[in-house]
């Protein structure tokens, strides 16, 4: 796992956008896996701004959502479909047919999940998967204890997740108890993974994921197995890493080395 420590959230998002732009420039196309939540919002703003400045064209970009609440319509204000539309898709020139989502109301759950996996494979796999990290180390809705080889499936939400979401819904009965999520095995097949984390409240999860043992109790620790996983952090999220000076040093040297090549 490559650890990239930036001074603040803004700079971390800038770095993630720079990596995505660089990958897109090589082929003028890209398959992205995209996460929801608070963390990637700054990255999506940067991508929108790249598009508005004419630096990135999304007409050949294909996007897959990482997860969705089970039981919500696409139009529900708390659905991840709505989130992606509001925070990214409606501001860029991605083609509607290139937007792929997990449905919150699939006709047949298992078949829907299998079809999603088939769709990912049919476009050649995900080039870059964007991830956040939960305080408990989850990625997507792969909560602690999830199989490290899991595929896209229905997952129960933890009590903490359900309680944290409750204020966002008008009726208690509306609060989702389940989600559909890409599995950990699915995520690991992406060619590159960008995990973004910001803030002191993520520092413990980040340290356990990057420097702790590989364990299903910290699903993000599985990224230690991935050859191209980059963890982009602000200072607060990096604050509990034992080797943070070393990560800074290697990153600076790498940048200097790459600058000499270009």
Interacting residue ranges for ligand PGA, rule: CB under 6 A: 37-39, 132-134, 138
Instruction: Establish whether 2 is a catalytic residue.
Output: no
67 Cβ neighbours under 8 A, 6+ residues apart: 35, 36, 80, 102, 140, 141, 179, 180, 181, 182
Catalytic residue among 15, 138, 142, 234: 138
Catalytic residue among 67, 68, 234, 235: 67
Instruction: Establish whether 91 is a catalytic residue.
Output: no
| Closer by beta carbon to ligand PGA, 38 or else 121 | 38
Query: What is the smallest separation between the CB atom of 27 and ligand PGA, expressed in angstroms?
Result: 29
> Is residue 62 a contact partner of residue 27, using CB atoms and an 8 Å limit?
no
| Closer by beta carbon to ligand PGA, 60 or else 136 | 136
Query: What is the smallest separation between the CB atom of 39 and ligand PGA, expressed in angstroms?
Result: 3
Query: What is the smallest separation between the CB atom of 133 and ligand PGA, expressed in angstroms?
Result: 6
User: Per 3-state DSSP, what percentage of the chain is helix, strand, and coil (rounded to 5)?
Assistant: 45, 20, 40
List the structure tokens of 216.
Answer: 């299903």
> Is residue 224 a contact partner of residue 1, using CB atoms and an 8 Å limit?
yes
Inter-axis angle of helices 9-27 and 41-52, nearest 10: 50
Catalytic residue among 45, 57, 74, 136: 136
Neighbours of 30 (CB within 10 A): 20
Distances (CA, A) of 126 to 171, 183, 253: 36, 13, 29
| Closer by beta carbon to ligand PGA, 61 or else 130 | 130
Query: What is the smallest separation between the CB atom of 164 and ligand PGA, expressed in angstroms?
Result: 9
Instruction: Establish whether 143 is a catalytic residue.
Output: yes
Catalytic residue among 15, 68, 143, 234: 143
| Closer by beta carbon to ligand PGA, 201 or else 245 | 201
How big is the chain by its Cα radius of gyration, in Å?
18
Residue 141: phi, psi to the nearest 5? -105, 30
| Closer by beta carbon to ligand PGA, 67 or else 127 | 67
Q: Where are the beta strands (DSSP E) in 44-164?
A: 61-65, 67-69, 99-100, 128-131, 153-156
Instruction: Establish whether 136 is a catalytic residue.
Output: yes
Q: Which residue is nearest to ligand PGA (CB)?
A: 37
Query: What is the smallest separation between the CB atom of 210 and ligand PGA, expressed in angstroms?
Result: 16
Active site residues: 67, 136, 138, 143
């Amino acid at each position: 796992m490559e650890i990239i420590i930036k001074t603040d959230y803004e700079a971390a998002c800038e770095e993630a956008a720079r990596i995505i732009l660089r990958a897109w420039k090589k082929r003028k196309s890209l398959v992205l896996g995209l996460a929801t939540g608070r963390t990637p919002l700054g990255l999506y703003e940067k991508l929108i701004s790249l598009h508005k400045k004419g630096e990135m064209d999304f007409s050949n970009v294909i996007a897959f959502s990482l997860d969705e609440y089970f039981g919500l319509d696409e139009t529900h204000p708390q659905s991840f479909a709505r989130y992606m539309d509001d925070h990214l898709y409606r501001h860029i020139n991605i083609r509607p047919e290139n937007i792929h989502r997990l449905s919150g109301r699939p006709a047949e759950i298992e078949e829907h999940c299998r079809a999603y996996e088939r769709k990912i494979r049919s476009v050649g796999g995900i080039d870059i998967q964007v991830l956040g990290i939960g305080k408990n180390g989850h990625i997507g809705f792969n909560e602690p204890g999830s199989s490290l080889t899991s595929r896209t499936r229905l997952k129960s939400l933890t009590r903490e997740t359900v309680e944290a979401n409750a204020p966002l819904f008008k009726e208690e009965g509306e609060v989702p108890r389940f989600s559909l999520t890409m599995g950990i095995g699915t995520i690991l097949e992406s060619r590159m993974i960008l995990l973004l984390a910001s803030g002191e409240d993520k520092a413990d999860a980040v340290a356990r994921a990057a420097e702790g043992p590989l364990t299903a109790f910290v699903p993000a620790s599985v990224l230690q197995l991935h050859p191209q996983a980059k963890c982009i952090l602000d200072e607060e999220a990096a604050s509990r890493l034992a080797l943070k000076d070393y990560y800074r040093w290697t990153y600076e040297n790498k940048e200097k080395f790459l600058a000499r090549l270009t």
